[in-house]
Structure 1
Amino acid sequence: MIHESSSWLTEHLGHHESYWNDLKAELNAKFQRPNPTINETPITQHILEAGEAVGFQAPNPDHRIENIPSYQDYQNYSDRQAKQLYQFPTQFNSFGQRTHSGVSIINWDDSRLELKTRCSVESLEFEAVASPQADGSKAKCVAVRARYLDSDETDSFTLTSEGKVILCAGAASPRLLMPHREILQNEAISQQVSDHIVLPLGIYQNVDRRPALSCRGASG
């Protein structure tokens, strides 16, 4: 895993570089990756030595955020500076166990969460916002409509004004978003699909405040 250059993100997507760096730091802290320079494997040492021998720069710790590398924009740098090695934290511990292969943004021990299964997200409901939000959005999701597979009954989960939906629906994402291309002002939705992963559905609901839902859906 390596992050795109913050300067590139600023140039193409807006916001200040510090905005992207802060987001990277928040996400990377959740991964809890170890320092990649500690307990280097023989193959890592060999690659670093071989790379430096042909002119590559040694990994720069300033190019890592919470131990995960962040690509630097070298278009204005010299050729030598552009040949930069990036050292990644390993996914394995000293016993060969894969212990750092993912991160969960859900606190599964939170008593406010209610896990729903055997249901399918049928549609999302969007409303236009009076003025663009901080991230530039001109519409927001206000509800998620789901159908229970065992009873065939439907239910609608309404978000609060600050609520957000985390859409992790794989190949179903274009199907859920396509009806809203006009209000989202994004005609590129569903024009190109490269993600065909089918994931199980779950709606994670905060039963006290009902502010946010996370939808993982399978394509129909």
Structure 2
Amino acid sequence: MDSIPSLCRKWRLSLESRFDSKKNLVYKARCRGSLCVLKWFRREEAADREFALLDRAHGLGLRVPRPLDLWPGRAILMEFIPGENLCDLINEEPSLQIGLRLAEWYAGFHKAFPSDDGVLLKGDSILRNFVWRGGSPWGVDFEESRPGKPAEDIGEIICSILTTDPMFTWEKLSLSRLLIDHYQRLAPLEGVEDALAWALRETARRRREPSLLARACLVEKMGLEGLAEDPS
């Protein structure tokens, strides 16, 4: 079996729409009357790894999609999580409640997956990889998960919060500070300023946006409070 049509026949799927994904082919589908998600991987080893992670995380009660089936080395079928994409929600209304719930999600995930190097990171920690459902964030897309320090996830998600339009607003800065403070009440967190500065530099490189390099320098010199300054 080496094609999506043949896989749809095997799992009795009807494809309804395609999600925006640069790395893989991801579809909203219907299986026996229920909505689900079909993720077809370009990297063969990634499917098995993400399926195993989702299976364990869901079994531990974490807010992630329930994995339904696996085609080894190629595809995952998982439940569809209805709700609002967190990127859209935060840009429309950056509620402090979102910062609290995100901190709790990350602390719970990191505690559930300790590693020799610290914890297992979610990886690719951007707002678009969360769905807001029932007052809580649900994490999706764990293909880039890897061992690391908690600050790497937290720095990356804060960078995502601050650099989506509208960027670096007072409300988003307050939300980011609350996220850090609440996480630190739940679990150890060190080096988040360095992780945020690194994430800002990576975003500047990817977008070719030099102004973000100036923001990274402010974080390195003054911490998160430096982002309230005008870098020009």
The TM tier, using the shorter chain, reads under 0.3
TM-score of the pair, normalised by structure 2: 0.24
Indicate the structure whose relative CO is greater, using CA pairs within 8 Å and at least 6 residues apart. 1
TM-score of the pair, normalised by structure 1: 0.25
Q: Which has the larger radius of gyration?
A: 1
